[in-house]
Amino acid sequence: MNVLDVVSGVLIVSGAFLAMVGGIGVLRLPDVFGRMHAATKPPTLGLVLVGLGAILQLDQIADVTLLVLVMMLQFLTAPVGAHLVGRSAYQSGGQLDADTVIDELDDAD
């Protein structure tokens, strides 16, 4: 039980906790846009934390490179995917929750 194991364990547990927060947010939030928000940001940070924790446990430089590649890929693709889904959901209409306070796209264009 050395220091590296402790640091890696803390990183992995906190990353998994963030991912769980994202899952609960997807279950609890009222409309597509809130759910998308919860499904994109916390799990991405959670994946980065878990990846950092896993890097501390691996000893081959090639494996570390692959993990960094996966984390960068998730960082780049998660916002793009969420943006595409949000755009198409807004355009298909009627997706906003009734409690929405301001809809700035409504009076754009």
Asked if 87 touches other proteins (CB under 8 A), the answer is: yes
Q: Yes or no: say if 67 and 54 are a contact pair by the CB < 8 Å rule.
A: yes
Q: Yes or no: say if 8 and 59 are a contact pair by the CB < 8 Å rule.
A: no
Question: Both tokens of residue 16?
Answer: 């998994």
Asked if 81 touches other proteins (CB under 8 A), the answer is: yes
Asked if 96 touches other proteins (CB under 8 A), the answer is: no
Question: Both tokens of residue 74?
Answer: 């998730």
CA distances to 13, 39, 87 from 20, rounded to whole Å, are: 10, 10, 25
Asked if 62 touches other proteins (CB under 8 A), the answer is: yes
Residue 99 to residue 18: CA distance in whole angstroms:
26
Q: Among residues 63, 97, 103, 106, which is the contact residue for other proteins, using CB under 8 A? A: 63
Residues that bind other proteins (CB under 8 A): 5, 8-10, 12-13, 15-17, 19-24, 26-27, 32, 35-36, 39, 43-44, 46-47, 50-51, 53-54, 56-60, 62-63, 66-67, 69-70, 73-74, 77-78, 80-82, 84-85, 87-89, 91-93, 95
